[in-house]
Structure 1
Amino acid sequence: MDSQLDQLKRMTKVVADTGDIEAIRRYQPVDATTNPSLILKAAGLDSYQTLFKEAIAYGRSCAQDKAYGVPFACDWLTVGIGREIQQVVPGLVSTEVDARLSFDTEATIHKARQLIDLYKQQGGDPDRVLIKIASTWEGIKAAEVLEKEGIRCNLTLLFNFAQAQACAEAGVYLISPFVGRILDWYKKAEGREYSASEDPGVVSVSRIYNYYKQYGYQTVVMGASFRSTGEITELAGCDCLTIGPDLLDQLAGSSEPLEQKLFGDSPVCSDEKTILNEAAFRWAMNDDAMATEKLAEGIRNFARDQEKLEQLVADLF
């Protein structure tokens, strides 16, 4: 019997949620995602030390003043790690915009264009890049502009159905609804455990997937932030699932039969198609304590890790 990972790959595109090149080589995913937390972790790996030095040299060439040069160096390092990953995976690599720009549409657009230009400078393939942006209203509007320019986007930190609706209407290439973080909130709020099939994160992603398929949206659904293999197997059949090395290990080590749960040609959808304006979007978010709290927390955490990366670079600048 094939491993659960091999079975899953036949029904869902598997994406590596890591910046570790060796882990990516081991599991041979089609695509890979990164974020500031993963870039910070990857920056400490021996395999990236040459790239780290190159990034500092680039930052100095852009600005001798440390305060101005460090952000350039961090962008170079982030793109450099993405370029290295591109040499290992055949598909797409997600590279994230600074989370501190999450509420600034124009700044997000500008930063996305800079990252794509850096991929070109470093000899990477900009056509195999997804620019990763937080699913705020401002981030979704930035993605709408970028998509029209041919820059494909991955809208991350997505916890709420309204976020998914707005992303679809904006023509976003891909969304990353966060399964495990939704579960974390409900476990804490309600003081109970959930089976994989009733997991609130699993239910949320299934609902979004079925809504997209029912109404013909082309936006790709990529479940993310998993806490267990049970969450993953309950979403077998989803367009994509981005999975960390530990859970990839567990899937590779199991030969239990894997049943497909989501089907694009026969979605189970009871939601009516809705187009949200800004006021309706903001009310839907305000009315959802979980989504409001987890989005804010996720942006803060990514911003803190970006600041730690900048400090790491600044110490050697």
Structure 2
Amino acid sequence: MTDVSALSQLDQLKQFTTVVADTGDFQTIKEFAPQDATTNPTLILKAVEKDEYASLADKAVASCRDSGLSGQALVDAVASELLVLLGIEILNIIPGRVSTEVDARLSYDTEGTIAKAREIIKLYRSKGVDSNRVLIKIASTWEGINAAKELEKEGIHCNLTLLFSLVQAVHCAESEITLVSPFVGRIMDWFKAKTGQDYAPQDDPGVQSVQSIYNYYKKFGYSTEVMGASFRNKGEIVELAGCDLLTISPGFLSELQSSDDNVERKLSPDAAQSMDIERIEVSEKSFRWMMSEDAMASEKTAEGIRNFAADIRKLETMIQTKLW
């Protein structure tokens, strides 16, 4: 048996939770040896602004310059190429999967999301990457979840992000999505701003949201994996020990690595089985109503989409300076 007292908190966590690096920084990924890695437009933008990764943007531009495309179509092609090149660099380091995000401006466009996801997977496959190692990241709108449902039928695996409510999670599970990423810290941010209170990890509304999603899935036997994301302190992470996956930023990975405090498993399928949990019936009408009733979920989903879209526009501006 492993002597837990000799292990860092990070190594203890890895015993019952898959640790995912929430970064586009290759050196960080190498240092902490996560199973998977996830990116988003903000992280991609930060990565390509660094001198050591600027060559990937140049490579993407060179690859698409003679494609016959022009204007916005050319910019879009370079952006997709860049996302895939970064994803491949990450896959060369990790043993598992990388999440690559669809343009957030397609969050309310089911057919547009499906088309972009197919394009991204086609690019990965053209470069010899097994598409089972790629998760297409899509916002958890009604339209986004429905797009992911169709993609999953085609064997394209999805990660539903910007998820803030149980109804979003239930629709994902019933749509047989591979993975969901409920956002812990952003939920806590909203409640802290509204109430002016500070929350201990066990009372954190974001932690409690992920706990409810995990327990619902395990109670009713859904295969969709739960990956807690967007943390504001180490305590939130430790409180979710046992969650299927946790995607953790470099700063908190370092904190966990530097501490040997005990980590106890807080979530388990067996415990969920004995809980009294009511099923939620989800239709388009009930989904939209429950989202409207949940001010936090509505506001944070829309805000997240706006922020990711803003960073995509910044990325496009950078690409344009290299093209013209």
TM normalised by structure 2 equals 0.96
Structure 2: give runs of 5+ residues left out of the alignment.
1-5
Q: Percent identity?
A: 56
User: Retained in 2: the 8 A contact 1:14–1:29?
Assistant: yes
Cα offsets for 1:145-184 (capped at 9, x unmatched): 0001000000000001100010000000000000000000
Match of 2:174 in 1: 169
Question: In the alignment, does 2:197 pair up with 1:192?
Answer: yes
Per-residue deviation, 1:266: 2.0
Residue 49 of structure 2, aligned match among 41, 44, 47? 44
Q: Does the 8 Å contact 2:219/2:277 carry over to 1?
A: no
Partner of residue 309 from structure 2, selected from 303, 312, 316:
303
Deviations 1:205-232 (A, max 9, x none): 0011001000000000000000000000
Q: Does the alignment pair 1:70 with 2:79?
A: no
The answer to whether the Cα contact below 8 Å between 1:152 and 1:173 also exists between their aligned partners in 2 is yes
Q: Which amino acid aligns with 1:51?
A: L
- For residues 4-19 of structure 1, what are the structure 2 equivalents within 5 Å? 4-19=9-24
Amino acid at match of 1:137: W
What is the TM-score of this pair, normalised by structure 1? 0.98
**Cα displacement string for residues 263-313 of structure 1 (whole angstroms, at most 9, x for unaligned residues):** 112216332122300000000000000000000000000000000000001
- Contact 2:167–2:280 (Cα < 8 Å) also in 1: no
- The count of corresponding residues between Structure 1 and Structure 2 is 317
Unpaired segments ≥5 residues, structure 1:
none
Deviates more, 1:135-144 or 1:273-282: 273-282
Cα shift readout 1:32-57 (whole Å, capped 9, x = no counterpart): 00111111011122332322111112
Residue identity in the other structure for 1:246: G
Q: Give the Å deviation of 1:59.
A: 2.8
Q: How does 1:33-182 map to 2 (within 5 A)?
A: 33-182=38-187
- Whole-angstrom distance in 1 between the partners of 2:153 and 2:280: 22
- CA separation of 1:69/1:197 partners in 2, compared to 1, >3 Å: closer, same or farther? same
Instruction: Tell me how large the CA RMSD over aligned residues is.
Output: 1.0
What is the deviation of 1:64? Answer: 4.8
Matched with 2:249 is 244
> Residue 125 of structure 1: CA displacement?
2.6
Residue number among 293, 296, 305 corresponding to 2:299 in the alignment: 293
Q: Which segment is superposed worse, 158-167 or 66-75?
A: 66-75
Q: Does 1:258 align with 2:263?
A: yes
